[in-house]
Each structure stands twice: as structure tokens, then as C-alpha cells.
Structure 1
Amino acid sequence: MRQNFHRAVGHFSLCFYFLIVLMGCSKSAPKESGQWNWPEQMHIAAPGRSGLAKYVSWASVLEADTGMAVRVIPETNHGISMGLVKSGKMLLSSGSKSILSHIIEGLEDQATDENGGFQPRIVWIHDLANSGFFVRSDSEIQTIYDITVGTKFSVWNMRESTLNPYRSLLAWIQVDESSIEWINAGSFESAMRAVSEGRADVAFGFPASPLMNELAAAPHGLRLLDLNSDQDPAGAKRWQSISPLYSFGLIESGIDEARQHWGSVGYIFNITSENTDEELIYHLAQWLDEHFEDYEDNYGTNRYMSLHHLMEALKTTFVPVHPGLIRYLEDLGLWTDAHRIRQEENLRLLKRYEIAYSEAKLLAKDKNIEVNPLNDEWLSFWQSYKVVQKIPKLGQHPSLTERADPVYPE
């Protein structure tokens, strides 16, 4: 299988090269799968270099097996990726709960005329993401409860979304924000280097980021501060009252200094639009399930793309499932009444956002307010509209049978 994969990647990379140069690629005729004929082409928007490599790791196998030309296009801007999915120009892209909530809720740079109110649908599991707060290994801060007056927090910008996990941590440990020294490093890399070089005490980071390997190997190294919600459920609940998207658990990937420590964990989904053909998604889900062993070892985190992890992720997500995937899970006997009820709940809330965003845009334009994320007047108008309409923030559910407590914008 490994030899076949390398051959497939070579063919796939060649196709990708000609896509960029000539916007075309030779392909064999799509193969039949029972009564199903795969389309001639499938387009995927991949976020960044790691996203590109991960998609190619299984899309190349899909291409070789079905005869489709599967074209993976790198796109670092998640808003643009989801806009391409929404328009139907791309079939798939990956979306974390944070990215999807920003686009659905129309937050910050996603409060565009095009993206707000997007109706994403889950196709399959993409990955398992981890994050947490890091200090230098020789830091006197041993636990989150050692953070106190004068602690230096390093951030990559001062936007609300960037500050949310820091503010949530302060709520957990009940430390006032004004007692913290904030260092705006200007980028994620600079924020993490500020900790590594001793110019800051704490930074929020991602254990699987390539940068973390470098910093962990530096003379002073890194250490993760545990976010153990089992030991302090009241603190975790205070966090979630500010940032309901987060859940906590043991980190299983990334640098050794983070593994088997508690951080924030969350599944990332393969996302399509609500208008994507049901039959295509049914057969794509079936292929991803039945061919899991063919691509599992082709990329480090492909082990999270199993049916088991998909079912785990569906227990807590606020994102609706595509009808094609629902049909496939029904055929397997895995789609239950509890899943149906959760699906209806998630659909209702996302529909509220879609309707509210459309209404707010019309009202704003009537008032000559430009719908533009760079326009503070529009951002304030949309935020106020959500407050008046009492639309709760999107958040992770505690379990399949327990709904998330509503957290309303202020």
C-alpha cells in the first residue's frame, strides 16, 4: 500500500502542478461503484501547507481508486475557503468549531456581505485539534493557579477572538484582566517566541504546530499548563460561560511536552454546503469509511478520520450533518433518535443566524451602513441586533443528550 501511495502522490502532485499552470489535468474515466458513477472532478480547498498535505494523503487514494480528478487547492484564508464551498466552486474544506462559529455568527473579519449566515454541513471528520497555554520550562508558573498580578500574557493581536481564550482562562482562575500585562507580539510565531525568549510568561499555542517543535528543543524548552476540567469543573464552567466553544481533555498529538496533559480539544470537520448533492456525499462518506485503512498511515493525524471519531464528534457539535452522511449512518444503524433531535436543534439555531444576518444587512443598508468587516459601525450594528434578538452564541454541547447552556451576546 505504501508503494501505491507514493505512486499516487506523484500522479496527484503532477495533476496539482498542471492545475496551477494550465488549470487542467489529464485523468482516466471515472469508475462505476455499483449503480453510482463518480463525477469527473472534485475540488477541495485546503488550509495551508499541512492542510494541503493531509488532504492529498487521502484524496490521492480516492483519485486512484475512482478515476476522478481530485484537485486540492491551497487557500490560507478560511473565510475565502468557506465562501468557495458556499458558492459550490469547492466541494469540501476543513472547518474547526472556532472558524465555523466566526463565519456563521459573522464575527470580526467574517462579517462580510457574502459569508454571514453560511449553512455548513458535516461530510466526515477531518482532524482532532489541540491547544493550550505554554510557559518556558524554567518558569516559576507551575499551574494555571500561579498566574497572578503582573503575569505577562503574549498575544498575536488584540482582537476579541484572539483574547477570548486568555480571558476565559482568567475567568477560570478568577483573576482580573486589569492585573495582567498584555504583550502584543504581532504574530503567532512572535507571541510564542516571546515566551521562549523570556520576554513574556504565558502564551496560547497549538502543540502540533511546526514552530512548537523548534521552541520545545530550544535550551529553555516549553511546558504546558494543564486545563484539567475534571479536577476543577467549576473553573471550566466559568471558562465556558465566556467561550462556550471549548471543551477539555488529554492531548494525544504534537510535542512531547504537551502529550498526556490537559488542554482544549476539538474535532475539525470536512465541510460542504447544504446544497451539495446527497448522493455524492453518501458515497464519499462510504468511501472514507470503507477505505480508512488505505489512507490511515499516509499522514500522522489521519488516525482521527475513523468512523469511531466521527461518531464521537457528532455527540457535541453545533454543526448540522449533511443528509448524505445521515443516510449512510442510517444504513449502518448508527443514526439514532438522539442524533435526529440534535440535528433539528442545530438546524434551528443556524437558521436563526441566517435569517437574522440577512435582516440585519437589509436594515444596515437602509441606514446607509456599509456591510464591511472593516466598518466598525456595521460590526456594532450587527452585534446590537444579535443582542436585541437574543440569539445565543454557538457552543459545544456537553453530550448527545444534553444541550449547551445558552450564552447570549452582550
Structure 2
Amino acid sequence: MKRTLLNASIIAASFSFSLFTLGGAATAQNLPDTMTWTAYDVGSQGHSEASAIADAFGRAYDTRIRIQPAGSAIGRLQPLVSGRADYAFLATESFFASEGTFDFSERRWGPQNLRAVAGRPSSFGIPTAADAEIHSLADLRGKRVAYTAGNPSVSVKCDAILAFAGLTRDDVEAVMFPAHSAAMSSLVQGQADAACTTTTASQLYELKESPRGLRWVDIPADDEEGWARMNQVAPVFQPFTETIGAGLSDDAPANMLAYRYPIIVAMADKDDDEVYAYIKSLDEAYDLYKDATSAIHRWSIKDSGVPPIDIPFHAGAVRYMQEQGLWNDDMDAWNEARIARLEALQAAWESTLEEAGDFDDEAFKARWEKRRQATLDEL
């Protein structure tokens, strides 16, 4: 706790200095006076970056923001869908929620009409305890791998990385934890040998300094068969060489996968002008938060405000990107196709609800997955 408070003080001090040196360069936006955002647990990369951006918004635009942390995908989505949160800082669960898969294949969910405001490129890999002697993905066989209950965003990436090496959960000892923070802490505490996460989670720095030590497992970019197996599990990844994070540097990089995290998500019916003001603020306040964490500089709008991404971009975000000359016809075609896909899945979901109203939960999910795949095949 002392470390968390100290880090918060350092970040706040850096923002104060930035505001002083910029001379109030950021212009006022038409943001709400107060907002609620959801994010991953305290200590996670998503929460740290949401906090830094919220602090910048507060200082530049006098907007008060409450961040509601949640360790599960449902916990981050439910407040957004119900209207109790304005925006959510999400990961791949935004894709799952728009597709109606995993936890979102239950009757009370189905494909959700979500839109992206922006989402920065992020890396993801397998940190291991050095004393577990895991030198390659194949060495994960028989080892304890930490998973988080109710978090398909992280779990599917972990499954995909295992698939890269031709492994499944049956080939490892999958250890389930109730929250992402607990899964990350499990390596230091000797409860697991490997985990799946981004590179800057605070617990990884603790692992590096602990007696167990930290080692990143290589995901080779030139292994075409491995990447093909990975993309059969989740076709949203690409190779990425990371130099930022615990145990990483320009002199000690690691081959990982790339995706978008965090993704700032709103509901599709969110007011266009408000979303426009949000992404404009995100862009114009960039200098106030870009040094707050080691990877937050990747929120540069030219990288975070364009596709591909897990869900369609909101119309308000598209308008801002067009005005900045950062949106082209190919991007517009991508976005329209992604909206058409989501709308087709929503229509298929409604048909499934009508046809399978008396089915038990498992039979309903099976019917929905069959209908979902048939719908996608027709697009």
C-alpha cells in the first residue's frame, strides 16, 4: 500500500509540473462535470492508465472521474451496459461481448452494441518464475499456469499461447484464481509457475526482485505454424517485440503478441458530441499523461484512434479522426463492415432467443454458437 501511495504521489507531481510548463495549453472541452469509468483491478496496467488519464482530465478540464475497479469481465461490462458507468477501460472482453461468446453467451447477455473511443496497442506474453526453469513454450507442459475466473479476455490469450506450442489446458496444471491481481501475485507467492498478462503489471516488478526471479517466454515471430495455431483460438493477434516492462529493455527485449489494451469503450447510443469531446480531450491532454507510466505514450491518437480494433469505432470518435486527417476510406470501410457484422449477430441472437426459449442453458449456448457461426459464414 505504501508503494501504491508513493507511485500516486509521483504521478500527481509529474502532472503538476506538466501543467505548469505547458502553461495551460490544453483547451476546455465539453465534457460532463462528472464521469464514472470501469477498469481492471488496482495495480493493473489498465487501472494505472485510466487513473493517469482521469487525473489529466481533472486538471485540464475540471472533470471529476470515479474509477470503479473490477477483477472480472462481467464486473467491468455490467455497469456500462446498465448505465451506471459512462465508459469502460476494457481488453478483449469487448470483442467477446460484441460477439456473444464466452460469458456473454448467456441469455441475459448476447451481442452487446459497443463502440470504441480509442484503444492503444499493447503487448501480452507469458511471464514465469525463473526458478521454474521454463525456457520455451513447450516447457509449460506440466507446469502450474495461473488463470483468472470469469475473465475470458485473459484466459483466451493464455489458451492461444498454449496452442502456439500445441498445448491445451489439459497439458498444464491450470490454477484458477478469483481475480486478475491474485493470479499475478501467485508467482511471487509460489502458487503458480507462469501467468498470462501485459508487461507492466506491478506484481511483475515484485516478482523480478523476489527470490524466484522473472523470465519471459519467447513467442517466436517466425514460427508460422505456431501463429496459425494461435489464430485458430483467437484471430486478433500479431507478433510484437517488447522492450517496456518488468525485466525488459532495449538491450533485453522479448518476442510477444500484440493486441489493443486498454480499449476505451462506450455504448453505441452514447451522445456523438460527448464522445467527440472525449477523444479530443484524450488527444489534446496527451502531454499531461504521456509520461505517467512506461507504456502510456502509446495512446498517441494516430495509433490508438484507428482500426483494426476489437469493436467498431463510435461515430463521435470517427468524426474527430476525420477532422484530424487521420481517417481514410479503408478505415471507414473496415468500420462499416464491423458494424454490419455486429448487427447481423444481434439479429441472429434475437432469433435464437425465440427458437430456443425452452432450452436449458447448455443446449441454448450450443444452439447459439451454431447460429452464430452460420451467420458469420454468410457475411
TM-score normalised to structure 1 length: 0.73
In the other structure, the counterpart of 1:357 is 349
CA distance in 1, matches of 2:185, 2:275: 42
Task: Give the counterpart of 1:383 among 349, 366, 371.
Answer: 366
Q: For structure 1, which runs of at least 5 residues remain unmatched after alignment?
A: 10-31, 370-376, 394-405
Larger RCO, structure (CA 8 Å, separation 6 or more)? 2
Task: Give the counterpart of 2:128 among 135, 148, 155.
Answer: 135
CA distance in 2, matches of 1:199, 1:114: 34
Q: Is the 8 A contact 2:242 2:253 kept in 1?
A: yes
Q: Is the 8 A contact 2:239 2:257 kept in 1?
A: yes
Q: Is the 8 A contact 1:44 1:70 kept in 2?
A: no
Q: Is the 8 A contact 2:187 2:207 kept in 1?
A: no
Give the residue type in structure 1 aligned to 2:301.
L
1:217 and 1:392, CA in 2 relative to 1: closer, same or farther beyond 3 A? farther
Task: Give the counterpart of 1:291 among 280, 285, 296.
Answer: 285
Q: For structure 2, which runs of at least 5 residues remain unmatched after alignment?
A: 1-10, 20-26
In the other structure, the counterpart of 1:245 is 236
Aligned-pair distance for 1:177? 6.6
* Greater mean deviation of Cα atoms: 296-305 or 154-163: 154-163
Q: Is the 8 A contact 1:168 1:242 kept in 2?
A: yes
Largest Rg, 1 or 2 = 1
Task: Give the counterpart of 1:144 among 133, 137, 140.
Answer: 137
The superposition leaves residues 289-342 of structure 1 with CA deviations (integer Å, 9 ceiling, x where unpaired) of: 12211222234433121113215xx34224111111111111122211100110
1:242 and 1:78, CA in 2 relative to 1: closer, same or farther beyond 3 A? closer
The superposition leaves residues 143-199 of structure 1 with CA deviations (integer Å, 9 ceiling, x where unpaired) of: 224556xx3242336889476445434433335775x24243545677667766778
Q: Is the 8 A contact 1:318 1:346 kept in 2?
A: no
1:236 and 1:277, CA in 2 relative to 1: closer, same or farther beyond 3 A? same
Structure 2 residue 117 is the aligned partner of structure 1 residue 123: yes
In the other structure, the counterpart of 2:329 is 337
In the other structure, the counterpart of 1:41 is 34
Task: Give the counterpart of 2:224 among 221, 225, 233.
Answer: 233
Give the residue type in structure 2 aligned to 1:385.
W
Task: Give the counterpart of 2:175 among 184, 187, 193.
Answer: 184
The superposition leaves residues 204-224 of structure 1 with CA deviations (integer Å, 9 ceiling, x where unpaired) of: 344322222222222231211
TM-score normalised to structure 2 length: 0.78
The superposition leaves residues 7-61 of structure 1 with CA deviations (integer Å, 9 ceiling, x where unpaired) of: 999xxxxxxxxxxxxxxxxxxxxxx95xx75444333233322445433323233
Cα RMSD (Å): 3.6
Task: Give the counterpart of 1:281 among 275, 294, 315.
Answer: 275
CA distance in 2, matches of 1:336, 1:191: 41
Q: Is the 8 A contact 1:154 1:195 kept in 2?
A: no
Aligned-pair distance for 1:110? 3.1
Q: Is the 8 A contact 1:111 1:379 kept in 2?
A: no
Give the residue type in structure 2 aligned to 1:48.
D
CA distance in 1, matches of 2:157, 2:31: 43
